Structure 1
Amino acid sequence: MPSRSDDPVGAALAHAATLIAQDVRALAAANPVVLIDGRSGAGKTTLAAELAASWPLAGRVQLIALDSLYPGWDGLDAGVDRALEWILRPHGRGMLGTWRRWDWERETEAESHAVDPSLGVIVEGSGILTAATAGLGDVRVWVESAEDRRKARALARDGDAYRPHWDRWAAQERRHVERDDPRTLTTRIIEIP
């Protein structure tokens, strides 16, 4: 098994998770909200999983991927709206939230999941940093990586299931970046090789 020093992406993500954990600890909040945005293949999911595994506060953290909320390949904006209504606003009011998983194979909503307002939440996914969501996120992260590297990682991960949809998904991400300027909404920007 290669060491972290042999894997610059893994090392960068591990370092980023450490920095974000410090940000969370500095908040002195029992139930912080961490929002992790970036374009496809940037490393959001791995970063979120590393952060969840090293969560610096007592108790568990709830990790929610927007991939579970997007209603299909044209649903970037709708997935963010769902996260706002079903997760972030209820959590911010101290109320139980409930979100429905999107079943990609059946192209319909599936089972419901509860979000405990007394616990921290990590929401990761393309599009999550907007003017509407930023005020509900205590730590707001943008993950940046070059397009050629992102595309290679995303297609290596998801292969033929993603390949025919890359361009249409990338167009939605471009609109999000142009419209919402998520880098300006962050508390931390992470550069991934």
Structure 2
Amino acid sequence: MLPSALSAHPREPAIHALASRIRRLAPSCGPVRLVGVDGHAGSGKSTFAGRLAEALDGAPVLRLDDIASHEELFGWTGRLLSQVIEPLGRGETAHYSPYDWRARRFGPPRPLPPAPVIVVEGVGAGRRALRPHLALLLWMDLPREESWSRGRARDGEEQREFWDGWVGAEREHFAGDPSRPFADLLVRQRDGGHEGYEVFPGPAGTAGSGRPLTHGDESSAVW
């Protein structure tokens, strides 16, 4: 049975079981447990990260869309490390300048204080330069073509040109710096996420990936 604090989301036992596991992890970046949520564009990372953060009592979510830019779709590693990872590693408040995709410029610095858990969400959250600082890496397990189709439908005709360029850039990124092989857990949506999620051991996990870590409406994790 789920604790009473979790009863507002009875159809998402996997998220609450996952949150319980995350709370037991050792800090990975100074005092912070960084949790990466990676996957193809359009795979549902933002929605899942938001629900996970809610289950973690409002944990901050760092969205990599705020770190990337038109000129650096994936060339933002140095900026992320210097603005976010290094200060958090020292137990200090990080400050990063979120990118405005419409105005095509970076905005004023935004503070990100150390917290017990910070969720890092976006394509490339599991890149090799970031993995040593992660307590856990999750991969939204939706095929890339299906993810991209969903993303295009979501963003509409206005973003068609952007998507045409993005697909090639994402292919190139994951060809040289894949994340899925290093994922601790795979997250799969039921009915597009409307019926909740299932969490499976990932390629980097010690268990086989054929059975979910939660079953039915029970919050029984096997980790």
When normalised by structure 1's length, the TM-score is: 0.80
Output the amino acid matched with 1:181. P
The answer to which of 25-34 and 121-130 deviates more is 25-34
Partner of 1:27: 25
User: What are the superposed Cα offsets for residues 103-128 of structure 1, whole Å, 9 maximum, x if unpaired?
Assistant: 11221111211111244211100012
Distance verdict in 2 for CA 1:185–1:148, change over 3 Å: closer
Q: Distance in 2 between matches of 1:166 and 1:125?
A: 16
User: How many percent identity over aligned positions?
Assistant: 27
* Partners of 1:131 and 1:185 within 8 A in 2: no
Question: 156, 171, 176: which one pairs with 2:173?
Answer: 176
Q: Distance in 2 between matches of 1:165 and 1:153?
A: 15
Distance verdict in 2 for CA 1:99–1:172, change over 3 Å: same
Q: Distance in 1 between matches of 2:81 and 2:103?
A: 24
Structure number with larger C-alpha Rg: 2
1:161 CA displacement? 3.0
Output the amino acid matched with 1:186. A
Output the amino acid matched with 2:86. R
* Partners of 2:141 and 2:186 within 8 A in 1: yes
Partner of 1:8: none
The answer to which of 148-157 and 168-177 deviates more is 148-157
Q: Which runs of 5+ in 1 are unaligned?
A: 1-10
Question: 55, 66, 83: which one pairs with 1:68?
Answer: 66
Partner of 2:187: 190
* Partners of 1:38 and 1:143 within 8 A in 2: yes
User: What are the superposed Cα offsets for residues 14-64 of structure 1, whole Å, 9 maximum, x if unpaired?
Assistant: 4553343133122155631111111101111011000011116xxx42111
* Structural mapping, 1:112-123, within 5 Å: 112-123=109-120
Partner of 1:41: 42
1:84 CA displacement? 2.5
2:130 is paired with a residue of what secondary structure? Answer: helix
Q: How many residues align?
A: 177
The structure with more helix, counted as a fraction of residues: 1
* Structural mapping, 1:52-131, within 5 Å: 52-55=53-56, 60-72=58-70, 74-131=71-128
Q: CA RMSD in A?
A: 2.2
Q: Distance in 1 between matches of 2:14 and 2:158?
A: 29
Q: Distance in 2 between matches of 1:84 and 1:185?
A: 20
1:76 is paired with a residue of what secondary structure? Answer: coil
Output the amino acid matched with 1:85. S
When normalised by structure 2's length, the TM-score is: 0.71
1:136 CA displacement? 0.5
* Partners of 2:63 and 2:121 within 8 A in 1: yes
Compare relative contact order (CA 8 Å, sep 6+) and give the higher one, 1 or 2: 1
1:34 is paired with a residue of what secondary structure? Answer: strand
Q: Distance in 2 between matches of 1:144 and 1:150?
A: 10
User: What are the superposed Cα offsets for residues 52-101 of structure 1, whole Å, 9 maximum, x if unpaired?
Assistant: 11116xxx4211111122112x4222334432221122212212211001
* Structural mapping, 1:139-158, within 5 Å: 139-158=136-155
Q: Distance in 2 between matches of 1:144 and 1:84?
A: 26
2:74 is paired with a residue of what secondary structure? Answer: helix
Q: Distance in 1 between matches of 2:113 and 2:85?
A: 11
Question: 16, 19, 23: which one pairs with 1:18?
Answer: 16
